[in-house]
Amino acid sequence: MTDYSNLAATAKRLLASYGQKSVVTRNDGAAIDPVSGESSGKKASSFDAYTVATDSKTNSGTSKTLLMSADEKIKKGYVLFLDDEYWSIDLFSTIATGKTAIIYEVTVIK
């Protein structure tokens, strides 16, 4: 089986160099308001990600499709702070070769 960890490292390095640094907030059972970014209930935690907007026809003022690199797994409902606004992760797919996650394709909504 081929090891694609070098490919994943290259993708991550390129997104870190040319992408925009963003913060992803895990809800960990907490309810997160995507407008204010405030969480209720359990404490939410965050991690950094790097994103690049795609030229998707679905991009609008209320949704965007992004390529994302993150050290942690992405899940629906996480909140992304991007361009001074909070966006909720609505859809995502992992671009992977075998079991090695390379990057994520993420659709975020307001």
**CATH number for the domain harbouring residue 95:** 2.40.10
- DSSP designation for 62: S
| pTM score | 0.74
Which H or E run includes 94?
A: strand 85-97
Structural domain that includes position 18: 5-33+41-109
Position 61 pLDDT exceeds 80: no
The contacts of residue 66 (CB under 8 Å, 6+ apart) are 51, 52, 53, 54, 82, 105, 106, 107, 108
* 6-28 pLDDT tens trace: 888 898 899 999 999 998 988 66
Give the Cα-Cα-Cα angle 33, 110, 55 (nearest 5 degrees): 145
Q: How many domains does the chain have?
A: 1
* 18-55 pLDDT tens trace: 999 998 988 666 566 667 766 666 666 888 999 998 87
